[in-house]
Copies of this chain bind each other. A is one copy, B any other.
Amino acid sequence: MNWISNLDFASEGDLVEVISQRQKKFIFRLEIGNELHTHRGILKHEDLIGKLWGARISSHSGNLFFLLQPSISDLIESTRRNTQIMYPKDIGFILLQMNILPGSRIIEAGTGSGSLTQVLAAVVGQSGHVYSYDTRMEMQNLAKKNLSRLNLLDRVSFINKNIGEGFDQEDINAIFLDLPNPYDFLIQVRKSLRGGGYFGTLLPTTNQIIKTLIAMRRNGLEYIETCEILLRYYQSEATKFRPVDRMVAHTGYLMFARLIESGTVEKEDNDEKKTTKTEKTDTASEN
A residues at B contact (CB < 8 Å): 1, 4, 6, 8, 18-19, 21-28, 34-38, 52-56, 64, 66-69, 71-74, 76-78, 80, 85, 88-89, 91-99, 101-104, 119, 122-123, 125-126, 171, 194-198, 204-207, 209-211, 213-214, 217, 220, 222-250, 253, 255, 258-261, 263, 265-266, 268, 271-275, 277-278, 280-287
Contact = CB atoms under 8 A, between A and B. Distances in A.
B283 A195 contact: no
A54 B207 contact: no
Classify the secondary structure of A's interface with B.
Answer: mixed
Given A1-B101, A231-B229, A242 B282 contact: no
A46 to B, nearest CB: 13
Contacts of A236: 213, 224-226, 255
Given A205-B240, A245-B250, 4 more contacts: A54-B259, A55-B195, A77-B278, A213-B237
A96 B102 contact: no
A282 B196 contact: no
Nearest to A241: B206
Nearest to A90: B92
A248 B246 CA distance: 4
Given A93-B93, A171-B8, A232 B249 contact: yes
A261 to B, nearest CB: 5
Contacts of A284: 18, 26-28, 36-38
Contacts of A96: 71-73, 76, 88, 91-92, 119
A184 B66 CA distance: 26
B195 A8 contact: yes
